[in-house]
Structure 1
Amino acid sequence: MRHSVDTGLFQRAAHSPSYFELTRGMGDGGRQIADFCIPCNPYFPTPEMFNELAKNLEMVLKFYPSDSATIAGRLARILRLNPATIAMSNGSTELITWMDHLWFTESVAVPIPTFGRWTDQPMETGKRVDMYPLQENNDFELDIDSYINFIRARRSRVAVICNPNNPDGGYLPKREIIRFMDELADLDLVVIDESFIDFVEVERHPSVALEATIRPNVVVLKSLGKNFGLHGIRFGYLVANPALAGKMAKTLPKWNLNSLAETVVFMLEEHAQEYGESLQLLARDRYRMGMELARLPELTVYSSQGNFLMVKLAPGLDGIALRDHLLSRHQVFIRECGNKLGMSSDFIRLVVRPEQDVVRLIDGIRDFTRARWDGPALVHSVS
């Protein structure tokens, strides 16, 4: 069944349209969307937690939140970190914006493709962005030594790594990230964006947040919305030594977090077990979804440690056409990567979803490819 979709929404910004923008003109069809675009945890919060939030909704909406220091102190207790090493924000992009204003004075090195704000934000304020291209023929893997040599050759003053990387899900072992930080101890700043680190399963304790607190120029960025499946609340935080974290905390508004964010933070400790279980379920789904996609001869599926999978389409297939087909005919929303630096419309990113949603995705892709050719195409899965 075809639904009315304003595809012009995708041409108006470098990011995907919001769920609200997308569904506003779709009527009842908007409620049926399977969202493979926005990287969210489908298993957390649990239905019981949502019921608890609903019971307190009137109070949450009517009353002022505590100041950010109080909320950050509670989060520090859960994370077992010194409160002086944390600064909380209204989403991780708020932190990226203020990092740029506070610490990006000349130039920043960024591997591409990656999360677009790491290149867009400093370019918007006139900084030089030194882009280190990840190579498709190397499965978009980041070679730390080559990247360090690039940073030295370009004389970049700030260096960024997203681990796992977005959109490909590539992951660097903790020892390599620590080596990277120590090799660049003379830079103005080294940023490790760990927005998707909780989804890693190949290492038991992959985060370098604790290591960042004892280094002079390292900031680790975290995104609670992605981990907890609550993008609408807009909350994130950074971890750094007390001088860096304190400077950021003093720069941010005193009441930059809302009451809903505060309520969720204060719920987390008692629901830690459910959160751990959600990560196990997602890792299971990532494996199953990868296997199902790899069976389609038109797709190349890349290995990922994020809560998403990057896929390359066979020659003759276009990601924009696939995106529009899936949305209008199957109510499946995907991320086409043509507007990401270092990527093309041959690539799409698919968020890990439960099995019943994956069936809809696979059916929609098969429907799309049948309409374009009769014969099968050769493909492989990247391991």
Structure 2
Amino acid sequence: MAIDLNALANPGVTGLHPYQPGKPIEELERELGINNIVKLASNENPLGLSAKAQQAIQQATSDLTRYPDANGFYLKQALAEILRCDTAQLTLGNGSNEVLEILFRTFVSPGDEVIFDAHAFIVYALLTQSSGATARAIPSLDWGHDLDAMLAAINDKTRLICIANPNNPTGTYLEPEQLSAFLQQVPEQVLVVLDEAYFEYVPAERRAASVEWLQRYPNLCITRTFSKAYGLAGLRIGYLISSAEMAGLLNRVREPFNCNSLALAAATASLVDQDYVQRSVALNQSEMARFERYFAAKGINYIASLGNFITAELQPASQIYQALLEQGVIVRPIGGYGMPNHLRISVGLPEENDRFMTALEAVLSDTQ
């Protein structure tokens, strides 16, 4: 007897297309039989783990038969000290992606509307659809968030506004005064999530004091991650900062033991290793400047970025992406983000970036 599982599934799931991550190195090795591959597709930290994180992981392996600390006590204590907030304001997740999912599961229902930028992190659209809510994708302004248009889109059905700052995949950035003026105009019953996955890469003098804003705006919450500047993408750990009341609701929905022991130990140790973070940021700044000079010299349009990636207009993007794969260089096509004529390139080590530039020149000469 055949069962129509589509008829049984939630309506928001049947039309959903799974998130497409950057192509893994192992997959390209299998497909093309090549090695010495450079991956500049997933905005990972090219420096590898910090020494303190490695040591913490080694120590944590001795107790892996036990469940992890479900409340993440030590990580929350360390975060609260750095962020100058209360541990009751923190929600931990399997990457910031999961805390976003927890937020949607807690507050977004069928019939609600969610506002985000048309070129923002695609997970916002996926979570909106799976929640049975309606997406209001606002056209970008110079590849970034049009805050006035977002405000104009708010109505009685609006439940949540998602703002990535810096934005992925464009790297554009909203200055603190822009965000503060925006938050003052958002109705209190509309929640705003400020996705700061790339927060550490923003120059200190330009960073928003977003955690301090939580006292003024109880409808605000902030997500951050250890996957980028802290180099823990493979361990999947992130967190959300909010009012204690909001965190209490989120932690009712959060799965028990959602952060594993190795991730908790490594993240706690990484917070102490600020030298590693500073080296990561310094490398990113110097190599980002080199990318900008390279694209400018080649007459290639690019979007100025404050993340650890840069997006460039390269046509035909799909053909160039495939040709780069054959050269052993993985970048990220972003047609799914409404940008079919662009590729996103993560900032790697100098020698990895050299490989990309050499490969791109070869590809462009072949396509001309």
Identify the TM-score tier after normalising by the shorter chain.
0.7 to 0.9
The aligned residue for residue 13 of structure 2 is none
Deviation at 1:247, TM superposition (A): 1.2
* In 2: Cα distance, 1:306 partner to 1:214 partner: 27
Residues 1:334 and 2:331 are matched in the alignment? yes
The aligned residue for residue 194 of structure 2 is 192
In structure 1, the gaps of 5 or more residues are 1-11, 374-383
The aligned residue for residue 136 of structure 2 is 130
Residues 1:59 and 2:62 are matched in the alignment? yes
* In 2: Cα distance, 1:334 partner to 1:216 partner: 39
Match of 1:120 among 126, 151, 155: 126
Deviation at 1:100, TM superposition (A): 1.5
SS at match of 1:191: strand
The aligned residue for residue 361 of structure 2 is 366
Match of 2:89 among 85, 94, 102: 85
Residues 1:343 and 2:339 are matched in the alignment? yes
Code of the residue aligned with 1:36 in structure 2: it is L
Match of 1:103 among 79, 83, 107: 107
* In 2: Cα distance, 1:207 partner to 1:85 partner: 16
* In 2: Cα distance, 1:51 partner to 1:293 partner: 36
* In 1: Cα distance, 2:37 partner to 2:277 partner: 25
Cα 1:273/1:53, change in 2 over 3 Å: same
TM-score by length of 2: 0.87
The aligned residue for residue 354 of structure 1 is 349
The aligned residue for residue 6 of structure 2 is none
Are the equivalent residues in 2 in contact too, given 1:103–1:188 (CA < 8 A)?
A: no
Match of 1:323 among 321, 330, 334: 321
* In 2: Cα distance, 1:246 partner to 1:271 partner: 30
In structure 2, the gaps of 5 or more residues are 1-16
Cα 1:221/1:266, change in 2 over 3 Å: closer
The aligned residue for residue 8 of structure 1 is none
Match of 1:16 among 3, 21, 43: 21
Deviation at 1:215, TM superposition (A): 2.1
Cα 1:53/1:28, change in 2 over 3 Å: farther
Query: Which stretch has the larger CA shift, 33-42 or 48-57?
Result: 48-57
Deviation at 1:300, TM superposition (A): 0.8
Residues 1:287 and 2:283 are matched in the alignment? no
Cα 1:94/1:145, change in 2 over 3 Å: same
Code of the residue aligned with 1:321 in structure 2: it is Q
Are the equivalent residues in 2 in contact too, given 1:309–1:351 (CA < 8 A)?
A: yes
Deviation at 1:40, TM superposition (A): 1.5
Residues 1:37 and 2:33 are matched in the alignment? no
Deviation at 1:195, TM superposition (A): 0.9
Deviation at 1:282, TM superposition (A): 1.3
* In 2: Cα distance, 1:223 partner to 1:300 partner: 29
* In 1: Cα distance, 2:255 partner to 2:132 partner: 24
Q: CA RMSD in A?
A: 2.3
Are the equivalent residues in 2 in contact too, given 1:60–1:263 (CA < 8 A)?
A: no
* In 2: Cα distance, 1:296 partner to 1:223 partner: 34
Match of 1:205 among 180, 204, 207: 207
SS at match of 1:293: helix
* In 1: Cα distance, 2:258 partner to 2:246 partner: 18
* In 1: Cα distance, 2:239 partner to 2:47 partner: 22
Match of 1:255 among 254, 257, 262: 257
Cα 1:155/1:144, change in 2 over 3 Å: same
The aligned residue for residue 274 of structure 1 is 276
Deviation at 1:258, TM superposition (A): 0.5
Cα 1:17/1:361, change in 2 over 3 Å: closer
* Aligned residue pair count: 349
Deviations 1:341-368 (A, max 9, x none): x322x11111111221111111111111
The aligned residue for residue 143 of structure 1 is 146
* In 2: Cα distance, 1:222 partner to 1:350 partner: 21
Query: Which stretch has the larger CA shift, 258-267 or 213-222?
Result: 213-222
Are the equivalent residues in 1 in contact too, given 2:23–2:330 (CA < 8 A)?
A: no
Are the equivalent residues in 2 in contact too, given 1:140–1:170 (CA < 8 A)?
A: yes
